[in-house]
Amino acid sequence: IYAATKDNWKEMAELALMYKCPLAVFAPGDPELIRSLSKTLIDYGVQDLMLDPGTFTDEGLSDTINIFTMIRRNAIKGGDKLLGFPLIGTPITAWINGGDPKEAAFKESYVAAMLLSRYCDLLIMHSLEGWAQLPVLIWRFNIYTDPRKPVSVEPGLRVFGSPNENSPVMLTTNYALTYFTVESDIKKANIDCYLIVVDTEGISVESAVAGRYLTADKIAEAIKETGIEKKVNHKYLIIPGLAARLSGETEEALGGDWRVLVGPKDSSGIPEFLKRKWPPKEEE
């Protein structure tokens, strides 16, 4: 329920208790008042709170960032439980003064990103345009990642569409950008297939081959771990074109039972490759 202020806190507390809902505490630019209201509401019996210290997108932007930082710092380092509740940011206030919609959306987007960097837990926004939302989403997904480690996905077997025992088996690495690009191209072409994602510690195909993060032994191990042999009645594996040098070694590592087909260097070429090469001919 939004929101309890110094003037209506009792009425809002009654509603929160009646409907068993979280209650927002609103005191723009005044962290001391937020702390006081939190204590009052907790003493009144409302335990589930969120704090809105106000969001000023123009001249008061620096003060907004400082207040968000101080509240979270006092809660974590100072041990102040009254300020330890989730923080609400309202970049939507960028629209209050009207003006050019694109300028307002741009301002709303960068204010939202700044608040995310300063411990905001909930953002209230107006813009729905992709160009305004995308920077915020990308920043949110990356803010808690370790910059020393490449962004990766879980290795293992992925199933696309409704594959059967005759469907192609392809392979890629678990570098996030590589995987999601391959996934997108497969889905766009409506291909029914199996995709083995090898653990290369988040390294792309070309770099993984060069750095020995993707080897014939690792590919053989991935095939055994995924149990793909039980899902198909053929033994053809399609590897990325950038891993072509591993084709012979991989066949040897698999005991000569599997044939390795070298696919396109770019996953956008998968549909055309399958049209020409799948199902494979025995002499290929």
Q: Is the residue at 255 inside a domain?
A: yes
Final residue in a domain of this structure, among 113, 142, 171: 142
First CA to last CA distance, the chain: 67
Angle at 251 between CA 246 and CA 256, to 5 degrees: 165
Task: Give yes or no: residues 126 and 167 share one domain.
Answer: no
Closest CA to 246 of 234, 261, 226: 261
Q: Is the residue at 147 inside a domain?
A: no
Considering only the C-alpha atoms of the chain, give the largest distance between any 2 of them, rounded to a whole number of Å: 83
Q: Is the residue at 269 inside a domain?
A: yes
Q: Give the count of beta carbons closer than 10 Å to the beta carbon of residue 132.
A: 21
Task: Give yes or no: residues 183 and 135 share one domain.
Answer: no
Task: Give yes or no: residues 166 and 137 share one domain.
Answer: no
How do residues 53-67 score in pLDDT, each as one tens digit?
A: 999 988 889 999 999
Mean pLDDT of the chain: 93
Q: What's the token pair of residue 256? A: 């000569």
194 lies in which domain range? Answer: 156-277
Final residue in a domain of this structure, among 120, 142, 164: 142
Instruction: Give the confidence band of 282 by pLDDT, cuts at 50, 70, 90.
Output: low
Q: How far is CA 91 from CA 85, 105, 114, 152, in A?
A: 19, 9, 10, 31
Task: Give yes or no: residues 79 and 167 share one domain.
Answer: no
Q: Which residues pair with 26 in a beta bridge?
A: 52
pTM above 0.85, yes or no: no
Q: Is the residue at 284 inside a domain?
A: no
DSSP secondary structure letters along 212-277: TSS-HHHHHHHHHHHTGGGT-SS-EEEE-GGGGGGHHHHHHHTTT--EEEE--SSGGGHHHHHHHH
Q: What is d(CA 87, CA 209) in angstroms, rounded to the nearest whole number?
A: 45
Within 8 A by CB and 6+ apart from 107, the residues are 57, 91, 94
Mean pLDDT along residues 154-173:
96
CATH number of the domain encompassing residue 38: 3.20.20.20
Task: Give yes or no: residues 121 and 195 share one domain.
Answer: no
Q: Is the pLDDT of residue 284 over 80?
A: no
Q: How many domains does the chain have?
A: 2
For residues 42 and 82, the answer to whether their CB atoms sit within 8 Å is yes
Task: Give yes or no: residues 15 and 72 share one domain.
Answer: yes
How do residues 101-151 score in pLDDT, each as one tens digit?
A: 999 999 999 999 999 999 999 999 999 899 999 999 888 887 777 777 778
